[in-house]
């Protein structure tokens, strides 16, 4: 297993002209997670939501020796118990040819630095329960699963029904 030297791994905010690249990697991630059929985002959606005037999330591009190796998309949430913002990692992806080379660790370290600089009280993310390689990796970073919490979700149809007062 080779380790990339830190000078070969670069992490920076993604730029609007890279919206297509980010979308391509989102599709690669979704394919890995067996969820490609759920990706409906377009390049225009990515441009508007990650780089537009009203953006609510941020994207990082990770390169190894100037080759796009992965991305991370994150945003701030809020903890009422702590009275502080948190950093929520929505997606992190490292392309297969760059795995096991320190790239994922570099991304998490970079994000932890952002959380520290922004005085966040938490840094959180979710992982599919079948993704044992990711779970092992996160545990190796001292991350702990939150066993007492279950994530609930309304899809767009559920949002509309609830907002309109219609029982789903």
Catalytic positions: 138
CB neighbours of residue 125 within 10 Å: 17
CB neighbours of residue 103 within 10 Å: 21
The set of long-range contacts for 94-98, using a CB threshold of 8 Å and a minimum separation of 24, is 94/62, 94/69, 94/70, 95/25, 95/28, 95/68, 95/69, 95/70, 98/64, 98/67, 98/69, 98/70
**Beta strand segments in the chain, E:** 9-13, 58-64, 67-79, 84-94, 123-125
- SS3 at position 33: coil
Q: What is the spatial distance between Cα 27 and Cα 41, in angstroms, rounded to a whole number?
A: 9
């Amino acid at each position: 297993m080779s380790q990339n030297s830190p000078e070969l791994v670069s992490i920076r905010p993604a730029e609007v002209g890279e919206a297509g690249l980010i979308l391509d990697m989102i599709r690669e991630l979704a394919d890995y997670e067996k969820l490609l059929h759920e990706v409906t985002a377009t390049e225009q959606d990515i441009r508007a939501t990650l780089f537009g005037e009203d953006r609510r999330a941020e994207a990082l591009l990770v390169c190894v020796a100037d080759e796009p190796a992965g991305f991370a998309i994150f945003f701030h949430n809020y903890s009422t118990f702590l009275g502080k913002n948190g950093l929520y990692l929505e997606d992190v992806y490292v392309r297969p040819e760059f795995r096991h080379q320190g790239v994922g660790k570099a991304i998490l370290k970079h994000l932890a630095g952002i959380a520290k600089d922004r005085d966040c009280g938490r840094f959180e993310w979710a992982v599919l329960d079948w993704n044992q390689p990711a779970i092992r990796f996160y545990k190796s970073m001292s991350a702990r699963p939150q066993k007492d919490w279950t994530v609930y979700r309304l899809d767009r149809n559920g949002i509309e029904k609830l907002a309109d007062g219609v029982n789903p």
